[in-house]
Amino acid sequence: MLWDSLRKAFLITVLGLVVLASLVANPLHADESLDIRSSCSASSDLSANLVTIVQSPARWICGDQAYSLEDERALLRFDIGHDDALPRYLFSRRSALESIHLLAIDRDGAIRQTSFTAGELASSLRGGYFKASLPNITRDTRQVVVAFDLPSHRMTLERAYLSPSDLPLGPDLLRSLLLLAILAGMLSMPLIFNAAFYRVLHESFVIWHSTLTISLLLTIVVSSGLAVVLFDPPAMTLSWMTTVIFGLTVASGAMFTYSFIEPGRLHPLLRRALLYCAAWAMFLSTFHAIFPFVARPIQSTLYTAAFAPVLGIFILSVADALRRGSRAAKFQAVGYIPVIVAGSVRLITGVIPWLESNDAMLLFYVGCVCEVLFTTLGVADRFMTMKRQRDSARFEADMFERLSESDALTGLLNRRALERNFETYCAEGYRALAVLDLDHFKAINDVYGHGVGDEVLKAVAETIQADSQIHAFRLGGEEFVLLVRGEDAQLRAERRRQAITAAVADALPGLGQQVTASMGMTNAPANVGAGFAELYRQADRLLYDAKLAGRNRTKAMLSQGA
């Protein structure tokens, strides 16, 4: 049943991957032919006059540009051609900044300016972008200048563009959002499996896998247009949320690997290093989200580079676990490949200055699906393995317990089993107790040997347990106990005692003497709780009386109603 559900999840996930691949042909942005990209850039400190910079051609650098965050303010110039659609919004990647200023410059030199603080910036339907309304743009407008105060990431400058509108709320956008919603739903499926797994296993890796799945789900919601459609938070709120959730994703991934790889299949130093990686990732993301301007020109680069050791330790851990024969690591190695590639792209492009920053979001989405699919299969496989191990251990424990409660020679239960389950037997109606002892058994051992004596005991055991209303126990040597139920309990026990002689003679025809038994019998009165020790003491005293009376007989003391 479990594997059938997982196979269905696998097919749905494959379908999701095909759907995501289709996004390459229909990317989540407006018509790029209408977008206007920056042609020149400049920089200054915050005290510089924007109009003066705009009117100083020497301050501008045009052509291929390597954007820098060294100065407090970065300026981008967008030239508007005669055939260009008039833009209404500035769009750029979300990252921490203080404010932006937008200047519309007409051909006659007239300038219109609008400013927004970081908290006033709205989120765009295009995932990961903010938008800001431009001043009134007319056919006389020849340039738009955007000034970013204290930008914290090169991507904000590299990805800035002007456009007439946000993504149109049409069939294409709805289809894209629906596909992302389906992807988010697919990521929710493992949480149902994990809930079932945890009820059985109570293993920490199930919790960490759930945490990892939730963080990936939140990442998709926050980094896409779903967040804008669902609750439309300010752009900077989504920016710091993205940073914190990324740290949670890395930390939960490290903790999942730490707890998921089997004991003895990972070097202790690497396992301990994964704990440090989880703490380091949470510290980095939290610090970067709360204090984005501490070392602003290089902080984003340092923040990105600081995850390189985490990535390296994770790769080493999986490789070491594979080398040591870890079955769990095989699922992780396959599932994490797209995420590792996406992380490597982010790391390389975020650290090397002359490369344009690339967050590889499409690859990251595919990686989310692969990670959740294969690690869920890994968790299910580990669940089945551990369940088999626990079932086997429980079976062995039960077997050893049965052996500890059984007599090795006759197969009857022993005194330990009798005392342990006596109340249960009484509740089932077995209230009559008889102590049976073979007469002159020592003589048989002395004359014929212990081997013959053992055969006699086996024949006796088979005889006294032949009645379905009798439980037979061997207390040791030639002494047995019978628990009997029914109104004719004494008659049933007596029949078993008398049958011993014929049964032994039939089993051992060469035995030169008859084997008889003496028995003492009592019972627990109805509605009166009597313990095993008290009933045994009474029956044993009656057995002693039977021995004194000449053996091969029964002495009974049964209360009314037994």
Residue 107, domain CATH: 2.60.40.2380
What domain count does the chain have? 3
Domain residues for the domain of 272 are: 170-394
Cα–Cα distance measured from residue 256 to residue 249, given in angstroms and rounded to the nearest whole number? 10
Is the Cβ–Cβ distance between 542 and 557 less than 8 Å? yes
Is the Cβ–Cβ distance between 106 and 130 less than 8 Å? no
Cα–Cα distance measured from residue 478 to residue 438, given in angstroms and rounded to the nearest whole number? 6
Cα–Cα distance measured from residue 251 to residue 232, given in angstroms and rounded to the nearest whole number? 27
419 belongs to a structural domain: yes
Same-domain check for residues 115 and 233: no
Residue 19 is predicted with a pLDDT of 46
57 belongs to a structural domain: yes
Residue 341 is predicted with a pLDDT of 82
Residue 427: what are its φ and ψ, rounded to 5°? -65, -25
CATH number of domain containing 524: 3.30.70.270
pTM (2 d.p.): 0.66
Is the Cβ–Cβ distance between 239 and 95 less than 8 Å? yes
Could you give the C-alpha distances from 182 to 178, 186, 195, 217, in angstroms and in order?
Answer: 6, 6, 21, 11
pLDDT digits (tens, 9 = 90+) for 66-111: 788 899 999 999 999 888 889 999 999 999 999 999 999 999 989 9
Same-domain check for residues 244 and 376: yes
CATH number of domain containing 330: 1.20.1070.10
Which of 135, 163, 191 is the last residue in one of the domains? 163
Cα–Cα distance measured from residue 338 to residue 367, given in angstroms and rounded to the nearest whole number? 4
Same-domain check for residues 337 and 476: no
Amino acid at site 333: A
268 belongs to a structural domain: yes
Residue 358 is predicted with a pLDDT of 72
Same-domain check for residues 366 and 509: no
Same-domain check for residues 528 and 509: yes
Same-domain check for residues 205 and 229: yes
Same-domain check for residues 374 and 450: no
Same-domain check for residues 147 and 284: no
Cα–Cα distance measured from residue 152 to residue 440, given in angstroms and rounded to the nearest whole number? 100
524 belongs to a structural domain: yes
Listed in sequence order, the residues at least 6 apart from 240 whose beta carbon sits closer than 8 Å to its beta carbon are 96, 289, 290, 292
Listed in sequence order, the residues at least 6 apart from 103 whose beta carbon sits closer than 8 Å to its beta carbon are 50, 51, 54, 111, 112, 113, 135, 144, 145, 146, 147
Which of 121, 144, 163 is the last residue in one of the domains? 163
Is the Cβ–Cβ distance between 285 and 141 less than 8 Å? no
pLDDT in tens, the chain (562 residues): 444 544 454 444 444 544 444 443 344 444 556 789 998 999 999 999 999 998 898 899 887 777 888 999 999 999 998 888 899 999 999 999 999 999 999 999 899 999 999 999 999 888 889 999 999 999 999 999 999 999 999 889 989 999 998 875 556 666 666 776 776 777 777 777 777 777 777 788 888 888 988 888 888 888 877 788 788 889 999 999 999 998 999 999 899 899 989 889 999 999 999 999 999 999 999 999 999 999 998 898 898 889 999 989 989 999 999 999 988 888 888 877 877 787 788 778 777 776 777 766 677 777 777 777 777 777 777 777 777 777 777 777 666 666 667 888 888 988 888 888 898 898 888 989 999 999 999 999 888 999 999 999 999 999 999 888 999 999 888 999 999 998 899 999 999 999 999 999 999 988 888 999 999 999 877 655 668 888 999 999 999 999 999 999 999 987 644 3
11 belongs to a structural domain: no
Same-domain check for residues 450 and 368: no
133 belongs to a structural domain: yes
367 belongs to a structural domain: yes
Cα–Cα distance measured from residue 455 to residue 458, given in angstroms and rounded to the nearest whole number? 5
Same-domain check for residues 212 and 258: yes
Same-domain check for residues 418 and 548: yes
Same-domain check for residues 223 and 368: yes
Place of tokens 């994490």: 336
407 belongs to a structural domain: no
